[in-house]
Structure 1
C-alpha cells in the first residue's frame, strides 16, 4: 500500500459522493514503461502528485481523481486501490473505466 494512504470511512465517502462539484486534481493519464513495472515507480509518482497538490498555493485541492482503466488485460483499478483511491461509482462493463478518488486531507482518525 502507498504510504500515507487514507482509509476512507463510509461517512466521508457519502460526503464526497453527495457533492455536485469538488476541488480536485484529475490524473488524466499515468503509465510506467513495462521495463520498470512492479518496481514501485507508479506509487512514487502518485505520492509526488499528492504531495504537490497538498503544497501548491495556486488552488485548493481536496481530492485526486482518475478514470482508471478497467478492461480485460488492462486493469488499473487494483493499482489505484492500493494507492488509497476508492470507486466513486459502480463498475459498468460497457464503460471501460472506473471513476475513482483519493482524499488529500483525511479526517482525523482515518490515517
Structure 2
C-alpha cells in the first residue's frame, strides 16, 4: 500500500500507515482492486455498522425519505425499529491514475449486491462517512446515498446512507 495514492492526504495516510493495524485489531476488513497489472487501482474498507436515529424529528425525516424509495408496507416495519443494521464503507479511494473511470461506482455496486444477497446477518443499509467536499458528496449522491442528518453539514465528514 505504500505506493497507493488517491490524491486525498487523509485517505492516503490511512491506507499507507494505519490500515494494517486496523485489520490486525479486527476493527475493519480491507480490500484492494486490481486490473490486469499488480498496480492497486482502488482500496476500500468495510465494517459492521448501524444507522442510528437520535431524535423523533430525525426519525420522521428519515421515514419520509424512505417513503420515496421503498414500498409502503415496509415503512411500518422501519418505523418500529430504533436502529438499522448496516455495512459501512469506511474508506474508499481510487488511484489518481484511474479516477473517473467508474471504479468507485463498481465497488459500491459490488458491496450493495453482496450485502443485499448476504444472509449471514441482517443488513438494511450501506453507510459512509463521506469527506465533506463537493466532489465526494456529489459522488456518493450520484451513487444513491442521502445525508442522514443536517447536523454535520459543517463537519469534516457527512454521514450518508443508501438502502439495500
TM-score interval, smaller chain:
0.7 to 0.9
Give unpaired runs (5+ residues) of structure 2.
1-61, 68-74
Within the candidate set 97, 101, 111, 1:35 is matched to: 97
RMSD of aligned residue pairs (Cα, Å): 2.6
Q: Please identify which structure carries the higher strand content.
A: 2
Kept in 2, the 8 Å contact 1:26–1:65? The answer is yes
Counterpart residue number, 1:10: 64
> Which structure has the highest helix share of the two?
2
The two structures have a TM-score, normalised by structure 1, of: 0.72
CA distance in 1, matches of 2:114, 2:141: 20
Mapped to 2, the partners of 1:17 and 1:88 lie a distance apart of 15
Count of matched residue pairs: 93
Calculate the TM-score normalised by the size of structure 2: 0.50
Distance 1:18 1:38, change over 3 A: farther
Report Cα offsets for 1:52-89 as digits up to 9, x if no partner: 10111211211000101004xx7411100000000111
Are 2:92 and 1:92 equivalent residues in the alignment? no
Contact 1:86 1:100 in 2 (8 A): yes
